[in-house]
Each structure stands twice: as structure tokens, then as C-alpha cells.
Amino acid sequence: MYALIETIHAAGLLTCFALLSTSRIGACIRWLSFQGILFGMVPLIIPDDGLTTRTLLMAGGSLVLKGIAFPWILLKLRARANYNREVQPFVSFVMSILCGILILSLSVWLTLQMKPALIHAPFVLLNSSIFLIFVGLFLMISRRNALMQVIGYLVLENGIFVFGVITVVGTPLLVELGVLLDAFVGVFVMGIAIYHITREFGSMDVDRLTELRG
Amino acid sequence: MFEFTAAILLLALGGTLAIVLYPRAGPCQLAGQIGAVLGSASGLVAALRVLITGDAVSLSGTWHMPGGSLHLEIDVLSAFFLLPVFGLSIVTGLYGRSYLANRGGFASAASWLHLNMLTAGMALVIAAHDGLLFLLAWEIMALSPFFLVIFDDRKTAVRHAAWTYLAAAHLGTAFLLVLFVLLGSIAGTSDFAAYGAALKNHQALRSSVFLLALIGFGVKAGIVPAHVWLPEAHPVAPSHASALMSGAMIKVGIYGLVRILTLLGTPEPWWGWLLIAVGASSGVLGVLFALAQHDLKRLLAYHSVENIGIILLGIGIGVLGLARGMPLLAVIGFASGFLHVLNHSIFKGLLFLGAGAVHRAAHSLELEELGGLLKRMPWTGTFFLIGAAAIVGLPPLNGFVSEFLLLYAGFLAVLQPAAAVAVAGLIVIVILGLIGGLAAACFAKAFGIVFLGSPRSEEASEAREVARPMRASMAVLALLCIAIGLGAPLAVASLAGVVAGMTGATVGTVSAELAIVTRPLAVAVSVFAFLIAVAALAWALRARRLAAASVRRGPVWGCGYLFPSPKMQYTASSFAQPLTTQFHLLIRNRETLVPPQGYFPADSSYVSDSGDPALRLLFVPTFRWFDRVVTRLNVIQHGHIHVYILYVAATLIALLIWESL
Amino acid sequence: MPASGSLALPVCALILAPMLLGIVNRTKAVIAGRRGPPLLQPYWDIAKSLRRGAVYGEVTTWLFRLGPVVGLATLAAALLVTPFGGVRAPVSFSGDPIVLVGLLALGRFATVLAALDTGSSFEGMGASREVHFAALAEPALLLALATLARVTGSFALTPVYQAITIGAWADALPTFALVAMTLLVITLVENTRIPVDDPATHLELTMIHEVMVLDHSGPDLGLIQYAAALKVWIVGALLVGLVTPIRSGSVWLDGAAMLVGMVLLAGVIGMIESAMARYRLAQVPQFIVAAATLSAVAFIIRLI
């Protein structure tokens, strides 16, 4: 059991570093899909009462949405905009990896501070969730491309989802479904926004939005 | 309490139906009107029941929001303030459908919703006994008139007025927020009863609470210099909405102040002085600004400022009496303030409805374009005359009764050995005398230019009397003016319960103290009855005399001019010119004069601009300075989304680290 | 409180008031070196007007006809509360100064509206000036009455004037003197005498009251002339009651003293009118405010 958790943790870290270092958008989307499936298995493993309908629903929903639906939407968006590479991010790819290591250290430290208060949560998964949140934020800050922003947002949502599953005990299904809905709406809205941005500016560079300032 | 909740529900239902039935004009207007009238009637019954029996009714319920509680209570004080709210709402409901007739569009239908929500909001504010509920209802009450003010949203001036109103309302609400947070923090809960107990233990905070309440509620009531939204907002709203706003909404500000005063216990003398000072300045400045106006509704709006000043003079004398332990002075002062609240809502409502009728008939509210309407609209003119005489405070109408009480309190104060109280009384007497004289000038101008003489424009000469429901609603208010005037002793005696609620004495003591005033009032009323009798006798004798003699019609003296034109009459600006010149320092109206030149002058013009001095000299410069300072902070707003997310992430990390340490 | 005096006082006032106008006119004529009209001339003028027919402007409404009636009725009602020095008014109650001022205001409002009803710029001009000066005179009158109230310790007119004895004068000489000056000015303003207004001409340069009633004729004009006389009586009684502190207790003695005082007042008004020219219109407000200040000073003296 614990080995499985550690595997998920390690694989999750790997996906994050992959996202930080890859410039090809298609590859990023696939790493995101893998991450979604990976962490979608967490609800099946963690809760003490085992495989109930609730956990099956959560895992299933997460799998379908994050593993299949969102990546598919993102791939279609990428095809429509025909923009395949993140060419010039604000933080270069090498620097991103170094920052990733810094972020990992920060998240470990924070997990150590938080752990005494959260007795149910396994240490590694707590660390994963915090790391995911920070990596998601970092991706949103450092990438120009609107699609990368969506990916960063989804990584952030993954982190929140995992955090919710492992720390909250006995909550109604509504909370987790809420997180899923959150992500769904985010992608939906971003899809529309990306369409308009592309149409208006001819590129997906989000920094061009400063031209709209009054 | 059942009638009260029924009132709120009926009002909401009527308004919603008006929107739902929108495409069909007839039913939607009817639904709105029936909701307004029935709901307000039910509310009025609730208020009257509390006033007559003297027992408070309350309603407590479960509340699904964090903090606060659903605690409604109608005690005698609340019931008294509910009278103008519901009473005026019935009358404006009657008036509204005919006023909005043939003015289709969604705005007309929606105006019923907003009008009803305004009434409901006001009622809930007055009945709320919980801080959070009070603030929620206050917001409803403050927001609904915005939509009424912006009724004619095509015009830039109207939009500007609506924004001014919204800004002023929320600035006032900010002070109220601070006030209630302060009270809640010392009391622990947000219930009014708890506030009263907590304030007893925190003597040092009482003055801050008073000042916050004065400013916060004063902005809504319209004291100078926070009155600037009144003359912008009231003229552009539909007239029945203006009547409700001017007649009822600003009184809710007075209610708030009075309610906080009851929670504060025995007041300090300087509170009374401050109230008298604020009342005096609002009264005099309000009527002076009104003198310079030549838009009828703007003039009426400034008069509301003046009357709030008079009400505050009464309440100030009452507070001074309480602070100095002079119960008779306190009772009469408060009685005059409360009676003026009721009286003002009646005659100001009447005047605004009359202005609405003029607008509908002559399509203009500009004084320089009206004239001679008394012949063409005899009913409207007569009712407006009664309203004008009432607001000036002429006997035997209701305005005179409340001013009599206030002057009586002033004279009482003058007789006191304590010099400070005597001076306060003298100030009240002299200021009220000045206000009365200036108000008479202003309404002689308003009524005279609009209704008398010859029509100054084609529209005015083609004006026709308005529909019967509009006339009926004005008649109701006019009759109330006369009734309260002639029935003054009864009216004043019935205030005993309300005043007792304010001063904390028993109803019996207060009744005995009021009886000291009602006896002279009764004699005064008999003098007025004599006046009416002599007038009737003189009229009859004169008629008999003229029946026997020759009576001809002819032109009036025009210095022998062959072709006098209506344009040669005195205009509103010229009528008020001696007074506006005399008080120029305070009014600061700007005049542009192009005089006639040469032997055969062609063009000449005179324009007087009466923009509000407080707005021009105080608020606009302050806001411009504020704008300049804040624009320098614009640097943060560069438009880079990444940096914005960086701000969020940085704050998050910082908080996490800080919390972990 | 009610009915403390007899109705004989108002009846006497009603009969004797026009005589005051006659005395004023006679005084002016004598000072100017003429014989002057008979003392009873005002009565004959009023009777003449009442007998005549009337001409009404085409523009005017019922308000124009109501104006003089209300003006007269308010003054008749005011007679009920005005004491005549030591002679008690028929009706007295605390707060009756307020009623007196209110009645005067009502009469003025009715006259002003009747003037505006004609739609002529003459009446408009007169009305505009009238309301201007009245706005300043009303607080001045209230200030004077308040000062008297503070000195005498009551605010019903009859007890106030009852308390103005020679002893009271000795006690409060400066206060009473200042208030008397204020009341004199107010008498001149309310009755539109020189230096505030010229009652003898109808030129637009000089007129306030005279021009407001320019278009009234017939019985209306008679009522207006009679009301003017009553107003001199009422406001004059306030002044003379202050200045003649003879309170012997006997109605006949007090009344006779007051009558002498009223005749003297009429003479004084006539002398003022002959000696002074009318003030420029811009100076009149200063005049009224100065008078009000006198009363304020009197009040402050009394405070300490």
C-alpha cells in the first residue's frame, strides 16, 4: 500500500518536472493527462472505508475528466490555433527546472510544518499536493502561451484535489465534485477566451492583452 | 406583525408581477399599483395598531447567514416613522399609474418594482432591531431609488445625477458600517438591545457613536454639506418616486439618528448644540439655495434640505432639554421635530405630486416657461397652493403647528435663567423666523410664476388638467394638511406616546407636559376659526356689494404699453434677485449678462447658473485631488496577467511561511 | 388663558384705526406748509371705494379677489390677541406672539400672491421687494418680542405688556429703549412708510406696497385701505404699549394713555416721513438688520 503511494508520488514529481522542461505543447498535454490518471487513483487508495460508490465516482470522474476530456479539448484548441511550441517563456526552461527544485524544497519544508496538524494524510501525498499547487502557479506565471496557462491551472486544480482527498475526513461528495466542476468551468472559459485572443491578436501570447489597457 | 409581513410580501409581489406582465402595459401597471396600495395599506394598519394600543410587536426568526439575527420590532417610535412611509406610498401608488400612462417601455414597468422595493426597504429599516438586518435593509432602500432616478437614462444629466446619488448614498453607508461594527464589537451581538446595554458600559465611545450616526444618517437625510445628491437625484426621478423619496426616504435618516439617540441614553449638551447648529445651517442654506433655482423640482428638493434643518432644530432643542434636565423643553422640542417629520412628508409629497402634474400637463418644469396654470388646471393649482402655504408655515395649516411648537420651545428656552439655553432658544427663534420669511419668498415665487399671470410658453398655454386619480391623491394630502392644522391640539396630544419613547419618561407625564402646549394651541385654532369666519363674511359682503355695482374686465396696467407680452412679466430669477444678491456670499450663483447695447438693441440675455455651491466648492475639488493622488498608484495596473498571478502566488507563499513560523 | 379682556378693544380698534392714517397725512401736510386733508378723510376714502364698481384684469383668477379679504381677515384676527398697553386683549395664551407673526405672514403671502396674479411686471416688482424686506423683518420682530419675553418672564403678549410698568422701565432701561427702536423700525417697514417705501406715489422706483395693490379697485381697494389702517394700529400698539408704561389698573385710564400715545406715534411717523427721504433699496436691508441687531444687543445685555 505504502509502496503504491510512494510510486504515485515519484511519478507525480516526474510529470511536474516534465511539464516544467518541455516546450512542445502536445507533449505537455499528454504529461497532464498522465498526471490526471495518476492522481485520479488516489481516492481509491486513501480512504479507510475502501471502495465505496463515492470513491469510485470520484476516481472515475477524475479519470474521465482529467485523463481524457480536458486533454482532448486542449488538443483540439491547439490544432485550431496551430501553435505547437512555447517558444520564449518568461523563465527559460533550464531556469524552470532549477526553480522546480527550489519549489520542491519549499514544499517539503511546508509539509513538515503542516504535518503535525494533519494526522490522516500520508506525508508524501501531502508533499505532492503542495508541490503540484506551486508548480501550477509557476507555470501560469512563467509561460506566455494561453494553452500553457490552462495547463498550469489544471495542475493547480490537481494539487487542490489531492489535498482535499487526503486531508478532509467525512465530507460530502459535493466538495470534491465542486473541485472537478471548478476545473471543468475553467477549461470551458479558457477555451472561449483562447478563441477570442487568437482571433484578436493572431497569436496566443497572453502578454499581448496589455494592449487592451485603457 | 402579520400585517407588516403581509405588507412586505404584497409590495414585493406587486413589483414582481409588474415585471412579469411587462409586455402588456395595462395589467402590469395595475399589478404594480395594486401591490403598492394594498401592501402599504396593510403596513399602515400595522403601524396604526401599535400607535393606538401603545404595545410593541416583534418578530424573531431563524437566520441563515453568519452573524446577525432576524429581529423585527415595531415599537411606538418605529410605528410613527412607518406612518409617512406607508401613508405616502399609498398616495403615490394611486398617483403613479396615471402619471406613467402612455409612457410605455420596460422602465415604466420596472419602476413599480423599484418603487415597491423602496417602500419595503424603508419599512424593514424602520422595523429592524438587529444591526446586520438594518444594514441589509438600508442597502435595499438605498439601491432601489438609483433605478428610479435613472428612469430617463438616455440623458447624460440623468445618468450623472444617478451616479452622484449612488456615490453619496454609499459614502453615508460607509459611516454606518463603521458605526455598526463599532457597536457590534463592544456589544458582542448585533441586536439593538445589546447595543444599549453595552453603551452604558463604554461611556467614552458614546460621542464617537453619536458623530458617526449624525454623519452617516445625515447624508441620507440631506444635511448641509452632505445634501448635494438631493437636488440632483430628486428632480430627475418620476414625480411620484420623488415624492416618496423626499417625503419618506430622508425621514428614515432622521429615524436612524433618533434610534441611535435612544440607545445612547442621557445625551451630552454639546450634542444638542451641534444638532441645532447643523439644523440652522441646513435650514437657512437650503432655503437660500432653493431661492436661486428655476427648475421646479430642484427648488422643491432644496426645500427638503431646509425642512430637515427645521426637524433637526426641534430634535436639537429636545436633546438639549434632555441633557440639561428640562423635561418640558425636551418634550416640546421632540414633539415639534416628530410632528414636522409627519407634516413635511404630507406637504412635500403634495408639492411633488403637483409638480408632476405640471410636468405632465405643460411638459416642462422650467419656471421661466410656465405661467397662468391656475386657470387651466384649477384643481392642481389649488392643491399646490395649500401645499405651498403649509410648507411656508402659514396658519391655519399643519406647517404652522409644528413651527408653533418649535418657536414655543424656543421661547421657553429664552425664559430660562441659564444663559446658554436662552441663547439656544434665541437662535432657534431667529433662524426659524428667517427661514419662514425666505420660504415665503421662495414659494411666492414658485407658485406665482408657475400658476399665476400669463403663460410664458406655448406648452403652458395648452396645458390641461390631469387625470382624476392624480387629483384625488393630491386632494387626500391637501385635506390632511388642513385637518392636522385645524385639529392641532388632537394631533399634538397624540404624539405623547412617540415622545415618551424618545425621552424615556412615562406616557402620562409626557401627556401632561404636552397638555401645556395643547391648551394654547386650542385657543390659537379658535382664533383661526374666527379668521376663516371673518374672511367668509367679508367675501359675502363684498360679493353682495359687487352684485349691485358694475363689474368689468379689462387689461392690467402695463404703463400704457400697447402690446404687452407674457415675456414682460416678472420671471423667477428676477423675483428672487433682491434676495439672491443680498445673500450672494452664501449662494454664489453665477450670472452671465449680455446687456442691450446701442439705440436699437438686438440681442441681450441673462443666464443665472445655480449649481450647488457645496458640490462646486467642496466635493468636486476634493474628489479631483483624490483622483490625482490615486492615479499615481496606476503603476501597479500594468496589464500583465503573469505578474498578477505572481502577486497571488507570492502572497500565498508569504502567508504560508508566516503561518508556519 | 382665553378671553381675558373684553371685545370692546377690538371694536374700538376697528373704529379708530383709520384715524391714525388721517393724523399722519395731516401732520405731513402741516409740516409742508399746507392745510392738509381733514382728519376723517381716510374714512371717506374707504367708503368711496366700497361704493364703487370694480374692474378686474383679464388675467386674474379668484386668488386676486381673495387677497384683500384674507389680508383684512388676518388683521382682524390679529386684533384678538394684540393688547393695548395695559388694556388686555380679548384672547391671550402663551405663544400668541407666534400666532401674531403667523397671521401677519399669512396676510402678506395673500397680498403677494394677489399681486403676482395680475401678471404685470409692476406688481411682480413690488412683490419681490416686499418678500425681501419681510424675510428680514420677521426675524427682527421675533427677536424684539423674545427680548421682551425674557425681560418680563412670560411669552403671552397680554402679560408681557401688563408687566411693562414704570418700575420695569427703571429696571431695564437700556433693554427697553433698544427694543423700542427696533419696534419703531419694524412699524415703518410693516406699514411701508418712508424710509422704506413711499406710500404717496405709484412710481415703480419708489413703491413696494402701493404697487402691489395697483390693479385692485372698488370694494377690494376699500378693504385694502382699511387693512392698511388696521396694520398701523396693531404694530403701532406693540410699540406704544412698550413706550407708555402707564399701568394704573383702570381700563379707561390705560386706554386713554395709549390713545394719546398712538396719536403721538402717528405724528412721529408723519414727522419722519417729512424729514427723511426714502432709502435706496439696497440700503433698506442694512436698516432692518441694524434694527434687529439692536434687539440682539438688548437681549445680550439682559443675559448677564
Q: Is residue A14 part of a domain?
A: yes
Give the ranges where B188-249 is alpha helix by DSSP (H): 192-201, 206-221, 230-236, 239-244
Reported as a single tens digit per residue, the pLDDT across A118-170 is: 777 788 889 999 999 999 999 999 988 888 888 998 999 889 888 888 876 65
Percent of chain A surpassing pLDDT 90 = 23
| Residue C111: pLDDT band with limits 50, 70, 90 | very high
pLDDT tier at A84, thresholds 50, 70, 90: low
| B148 vs B26, higher pLDDT | B148
Residue A30 — very low, low, confident or very high, per pLDDT cuts 50/70/90?
very high
Residue C70: pLDDT above 90? yes
Mean of the pLDDT values across residues B320-339? 93
Q: Do B535 and C70 touch (CB under 8 A)?
A: yes
Contact B639 A106 (CB under 8 A): no
B243-269 mean pLDDT: 92
Grade residue B331 by pLDDT with cuts at 50, 70 and 90.
very high
Q: Which residues of chain B make contact with C90, given a CB cutoff of 8 A?
A: none
C205: how many CB neighbours lie within 10 A of its CB?
9
- Output Rg (C-alpha) for chain A, integer angstroms: 17
Flag whether A37 is in a domain. yes
Question: Which cell numbers in the block locate residue A92?
Answer: 527559460
- Comparing B86 with B609, the larger pLDDT belongs to B86
Whole-angstrom Cα distance, residue C176 to residue C161? 12
Residue in B with minimal Cα distance to C222: B542
Instruction: For chain C, give the mean pLDDT.
Output: 89
Q: Is the ipTM above a cut-off of 0.95?
A: no
- Which residue among C73, C149, C285 sits closest to B414, beta carbon to beta carbon? C149
Closest partner residue to B407 (CB to CB) among C51, C98, C285 is: C98
Facing residue for A141 by CB, picked from B637, B645, B656: B645
Confidence of residue C1 (pLDDT cuts 50, 70, 90): very low
Highest-confidence range of A189-193, B204-208, C22-26, by mean pLDDT?
C22-26
Output the pLDDT for position C208: 81
pLDDT for res A173:
63
Confidence of residue C3 (pLDDT cuts 50, 70, 90): very low
Phi-psi region of B74 (alpha: psi -120 to 50; beta: other; left: phi over 0): beta
The pTM (predicted TM-score) of the whole model is: 0.84
- Listed ranges B429-433, B549-553, B611-615, C250-254; the one with the highest mean pLDDT: B429-433
**Region A39-44: what's the mean pLDDT?**
85
The per-residue pLDDT for B139 is 94
CA B624 to chain A, closest CA, distance in angstroms equals 19
For chains A and C, having 3+ Cβ pairs within 8 Å is answered no
* Phi, psi for B59 (deg, rounded to 5): -145, 125
For residue range C252-289, what is the model confidence (pLDDT) as tens digits?
Answer: 888 899 999 999 999 999 999 999 888 888 888 989 99
Give me the pLDDT at residue A170, please.
59
Q: What is the band of B282 on the pLDDT scale with cuts at 50, 70, 90? A: very high
Scanning C232-291 for CB atoms below 8 A from B yields: 281, 285
Q: Does A212 touch chain B (CB under 8 A)?
A: yes
Cα torsion B313, B525, C65, C61: sign: positive
Is A38 a domain residue? yes
In a domain, A213, yes or no: no
Of C42, C161, C177, C46, the residue nearest C100 (C-alpha): C161
Asked whether the predicted pLDDT for residue C171 surpasses 50, the reply is yes
Task: Work out the minimum CA distance from C30 to partner chain B, whole angstroms.
Answer: 33
- What's the CA gap between C165 and A39, in Å, rounded? 106
Does the CB of B652 have a partner CB in chain A at under 8 Å?
Answer: yes
Report residue A174's pLDDT band, with 50, 70 and 90 as the boundaries.
Answer: low
Confidence of residue A48 (pLDDT cuts 50, 70, 90): low
- What's chain A look like in SS3? CHHHHHHHHHHHHHHHHHHHHCCEHHHHHHHHHHHHHHHHCHHHHCCCCCCCHHHHHHHHHHHHHHHHHHHHHHHHHHHHHCCCECCCCCCCHHHHHHHHHHHHHHHHHHHHHHHHHCCCCCHHHHHHHHHHHHHHHHHHHHCCEHHHHHHHHHHHHHHHHHHHHHHCCCCCHHHHHHHHHHHHHHHHHHHHHHHHHHHHHCCCEHHHHHHHCC
Q: Is residue A181 part of a domain?
A: yes
Peptide bond into B225 cis (omega under 30): yes
Give the percent of chain B with pLDDT over 90: 51
Question: According to the model, what pLDDT value does residue A183 have?
Answer: 77
Helix (H), strand (E), coil (C) string for chain C:
CCCCCCCHHHHHHHHHHHHHHHHHHHHHHHHCCCCCCCCCHHHHHHHHHHHCCEEEECCCCHHHHHHHHHHHHHHHHHHHHCCECCECCCCCCCCHHHHHHHHHHHHHHHHHHHHHCCCCHHHHHHHHHHHHHHHHHHHHHHHHHHHHHHHHCCCCHHHHHHCCCHHHHHHCHHHHHHHHHHHHHHHHHHCCCCCCCCCCCCCCCCCCHHHHCCCCCCHHHHHHHHHHHHHHHHHHHHHHHHHCCCCCCCHHHHHHHHHHHHHHHHHHHHHHHHHCCCCCCCHHHHHHHHHHHHHHHHHHHHHC
User: Quick one: B496 exposed, middle or buried, by C-beta within 10 A (0-12, 13-18, 19+)?
Assistant: buried
Residue with cell 501525498: A125
Q: Which residue range is the domain that position A36 belongs to? A: 2-205
In DSSP terms, B606 is beta-bridged to B593
Q: Which of A69-73, B578-582, C47-51, C196-200 has the lowest mean pLDDT?
A: C196-200
Report the amino acid identity of residue B355: A
In-domain check, residue A210: no
Residue B160 Cα, gap to closest chain A Cα (Å): 22
The mean predicted confidence, pLDDT, of chain B is 89
**Percent residues over pLDDT 90 in chain C:** 57
Q: What is the mean pLDDT of residues B186-199?
A: 84
Tell me the residues of chain A between 148 and 167 that have a Cβ less than 8 Å away from chain B.
149
Answer whether residue B618 shows pLDDT above 50. Answer: yes
Identify which of C200, C183, C275 has the alpha carbon closest to the alpha carbon of residue C236.
C183
Q: Assign B19 to helix, strand or coil.
A: helix
Is the pLDDT confidence value at A102 over 80? yes
B660 contacts on A by Cβ (under 8 Å): 109-110, 113-114
CB contact under 8 A, A209 and B638: no
The reply to whether B582 touches chain C by the CB within 8 Å rule is yes
Alpha carbons C114 and C4: distance in angstroms, whole number: 35
Quickly state the pLDDT bin for A214 (edges 50, 70, 90): low
A50-78 pLDDT per residue, tens: 667 777 877 888 888 888 888 888 888 88
Q: How far is the alpha carbon of B645 from chain A, nearest alpha carbon, in Å?
A: 6
Task: Name residue, grid cell 469510485.
Answer: A56
Percent of chain B scored above 70 by pLDDT?
99
Q: Give domain status of residue A214, yes or no.
A: no
d(CA B352, CA B356) in angstroms, rounded, equals: 6
Domain count across chain A: 1
Contacts of B570 (CB under 8 A, 6+ apart): B449, B453, C116, C121, C123, C124, C125, C127, C128
Q: Which residue of B has its CA nearest to C91?
A: B523
In total, the C-beta contacts within 8 angstroms joining chain A to chain B are 38
Residue type, position B587, single letter? I
Q: Give the model's confidence band at A171: pLDDT under 50 very low, under 70 low, under 90 confident, else very high.
A: low
Q: Cell numbers 386619480 correspond to what residue? A: B469
Instruction: Give the confidence band of C2 by pLDDT, cuts at 50, 70, 90.
Output: very low
| Number of alpha carbons in the 13 Å side-chain half-sphere of residue B337 | 31
Nearest CA in chain B to C64: B452
| Nearest-angstrom CA–CA distance, A182 and A153 | 10
Set of cell numbers at residue C175: 433693554
Decide if pLDDT at C128 tops 60.
yes
Report whether pLDDT(B175) > 90.
Answer: yes
Q: What is the pLDDT of residues B99-146, one digit of tens each?
A: 888 777 788 888 899 999 999 999 999 999 988 899 999 999 999 999
Average pLDDT, integer, range A24-29: 88
Predicted confidence band of residue B56 (pLDDT cuts 50, 70, 90): confident
On whether any CB of chain B is under 8 Å from the CB of A206, the answer is: yes
Would you say B12 and B43 are in contact if contact means Cβ atoms under 8 Å apart?
A: no
Residue B551 identity: V
* B660–A110 CB contact, under 8 Å: yes
pLDDT for the residue numbered A62: 82
pLDDT digits (tens, 9 = 90+) for C172-187: 898 999 999 999 999 9
**pLDDT for residue B638:** 75
